[in-house]
Structures are given as C-alpha cells and as structure tokens.
Amino acid sequence: LAKTTQPISMDSYEGQEVNITCSHNNIATNDYITWYQQFPSQGPRFIIQGYKTKVTNEVASLFIPADRKSSTLSLPRVSLSDTAVYYCLVGDGNTGFQKLVFGTGTRLLVSP
C-alpha cells in the first residue's frame, strides 16, 4: 500500500507562501499524485495533480522530484480562506489507482 506521510499541522500568515510536503516512498510507476483541500463540514475538493517535475494552475503549484518519492504543494500568498486541511493522495500499488486511501492530511491555519 502506497502510504503517504504529511506534517500534521502548519501555521502561516496572510500573504506568505506555504509549502506542504508529502512523502510517498512506495508510489507505483504509473501513479499520479493528487492534492485535495477540505473545509470543515465539506467534502474534499481537487486542487492539483501531477506525475513529475512541476505543475501549476490558478491556485497552486506542485513540485515532484525525479525519484517521485515526495511532492510539495505550494500555495502562493495565502489568505485566511486557505485555512483548511490538505491531503495528498496516491493510489494503492496493488490495485493500481482503484483503492484510494487518504493519509492524515495537513491542517493549515492562516492568521492575519
């Protein structure tokens, strides 16, 4: 099982850049890395996905080194509304990308 490990929590201030790293040592060769954001009382929602190197969209960037054993979600200039729990997700090496098990996630608190 491709388990992920993230910091339990992080604190930041408005306007700062936040980098959340996820470790996934046993990621399968064909698996993608996906990050989700969850606000209280809501289901997680997709932020960004990547396979290798760097991916950027309108809300975040995702950095993946060549060995793909980790990934870093980068949130530029965070605001109070970015306070949420962030999960990185990879597939199960045995069932491919069918069985999707979430890790503990990182609770990000953004203060004024």
Footprint on this chain of another protein (rule: CB under 8 A): 30-32, 34, 36, 41-46, 49, 85, 87, 89, 91, 95-105
Residue number, 13 or 102, with CB nearest to another protein: 102
Give the Cα separation of 92 and 71 in Å (integer): 17
Amino acid at 40: P
Residue number, 30 or 81, with CB nearest to another protein: 30
Alpha carbon 106 to its chain's center: 8
DSSP letter, residue 93: T
Residue number, 89 or 110, with CB nearest to another protein: 89
